[in-house]
Amino acid sequence: MRFPIRLIPLKTNLNFMRMKWLALGLSVFFIVATVVLVATKGLNFGIDFTGGVVVEMRTKDVVDLGHMREALSKYPELGEVNIQYFGSDNDILLRIQPQDVADGEQLKAVNHLKEILGNELKTEIEYRKVDYVGPQVGKELVTSGVMALGLALLAMMAYIWFRFEWQFGLGGIFALFHDAMVTVGFFCITGLEFNLTSIAAILTIIGYSINDSVVIYDRIRENLRKFKKMPLEELINLSVNETLSRTILTSSTTIITLIALVLLGGEVIKGFCLAMLFGIVVGTYSSIYISAPVLVFINPRQKSPENAVAKPA
């Protein structure tokens, strides 16, 4: 005999649509606040976007990167430092933020770094390459990152439009735009480093969010077919409640994993995991309170009776 465990009872009937105006108002407020924060405070761009000095080195003995970061953190004059293995545990890629435009200052900073590493690591070091990445490269990466986000949003809107109807596409793109903007606002408020990994986090968040929205949209489409005379707000409420258990279970398991990574994953992925943790919460909220309620204002029933529902999958 099976005893299924249900996080949400089958007959749950929460009135999500009652909060639609408050939810949409808060979303617009957060988007506007993000624009203001980016214009005034700005993002804490990492070396990926600001440029800096890149050093490739090989050590005779394997060096623990955690110990290396801790050692270099005692020298604030180096500024921001990124360290990672590449190839093998003896090959290390180290990046420090730009010091001064003058070549002499860059060389001075690199020599100072070599002196510090020699004193702290207590192992033989071979410096294989030292490069200076100018800010122009960073500007190109910013442009590429913005283009990647924009194209991802448009591609997902096109998918939803094709998979369902244009009303669903508009609802989905507004929810995704909200998720991306609010996550950028999170980076502004917290001061977390914004780099290429952050772009990857935002792309992952909007992918997760649209997946959640598709599940709700699919149930709305089914219910549009079944309950052709039911008021739209009531139908959307029913659909969200019917998928609520799946939404919460999926979000909860993802959040538990991300909390473990934040606590135990180390400094390298901490910023990415914090952004993902925040984004999953925001994405779940937008799937319930934005992508679905938006359909009330762009009624998907505004078509001929023969096509009152979306295209079949």
* CATH assignment of the domain containing 70: 3.30.70.3190
Is residue 299 exposed (0-12), middle (13-18) or buried (19+ Cβ within 10 Å)?
A: exposed
DSSP 149-185: HHHHHHHHHHHHHHHS-HHHHHHHHHHHHHHHHHHHH
In the listed set 99, 133, 167, which residue is the last one of a domain according to the structure?
133
pLDDT for res 311: 44
In the listed set 79, 103, 133, which residue is the last one of a domain according to the structure?
133
Q: How far apart are CA 269 and CA 139, in angstroms?
A: 23
Which residue carries 């078509």 as its tokens? 303
Q: How far apart are CA 70 and CA 65, in angstroms?
A: 8
Q: Are 79 and 114 contained in the same domain? A: yes
In the listed set 83, 114, 133, which residue is the last one of a domain according to the structure?
133
pLDDT for res 103: 52
Give, for 98, the enclosing helix (H) or strand (E): none
pTM recorded for the entire structure: 0.74
Strand pairing category for 44-45 and 193-194: parallel
Q: Are 38 and 158 contained in the same domain? A: yes
pLDDT for res 107: 73
pLDDT for res 278: 93
Closest by Cα among 27, 15, 18 to 171: 27
Q: Which domain holds residue 256?
A: 16-43+138-307
Instruction: Report pLDDT digits (tens) over 180-226.
Output: 899 999 999 988 888 888 888 888 888 888 888 888 888 888 888 88
pLDDT for res 134: 67
Q: How many CA atoms lie less than 13 Å away from 106 in the CB half-sphere?
A: 16
What is the overall mean pLDDT for the chain?
Answer: 79
Q: Are 129 and 142 contained in the same domain? A: no
Q: Are 118 and 162 contained in the same domain? A: no
pLDDT for res 6: 60
Instruction: Report pLDDT digits (tens) over 94-123.
Output: 877 765 555 556 677 778 778 888 777 777
Number of domains in the chain: 2
pLDDT for res 182: 92
The residue ranges of the chain whose pLDDT is under 50 are 1, 3, 304-313
Q: Are 193 and 64 contained in the same domain? A: no
Structure tokens at 66: 């955690």
Q: Is residue 203 part of a domain?
A: yes
